[in-house]
Amino acid sequence: MEMMKAVTSAGAAVALALGTVAVASPAEARPRTWTGQWSSYGDCQWGTSSKLRELKKVDRSAHTIARCIWIDNRYYKKKWVSHINYVKVG
C-alpha cells in the first residue's frame, strides 16, 4: 500500500516503467532525475505508439537519436546520453 502511495502521478509511473527512479514534484518544478536543456516541440517528429506516444528524431547538432514521450500532457525528450537524462519538450 505504501508503494502505491509513493507513485501518485502518471509521470512517475511512466518513469518507473521505463526503468528510472522518478521524484514526485509539482508541475512547475523539474524532478531531480531530469537533466539537460529545455527544448521545443519542433525538435521531435511523430512516431508510432499507443498509450505512451513515443516520438523519434535525429538531433543534427549531436548526431544522436532521441526519443520523445508524452507524459501528463507534456512532451519530454530522452537523449541517449544517460538513462535518466530527460528533457522537457514543448
Q: What is the pLDDT of residues 4-14, one digit of tens each?
A: 334 444 444 54
**DSSP E strand stretches across 1-90:** 45-46, 55-59, 64-71, 74-79, 86-89
Q: What is the pTM of this model?
A: 0.18
Pairwise CA distance, residues 49 & 55, whole Å: 8
Q: What is the pLDDT of residues 18-72, one digit of tens each?
A: 444 444 433 444 443 333 444 444 444 433 333 334 444 444 444 444 555 555 5
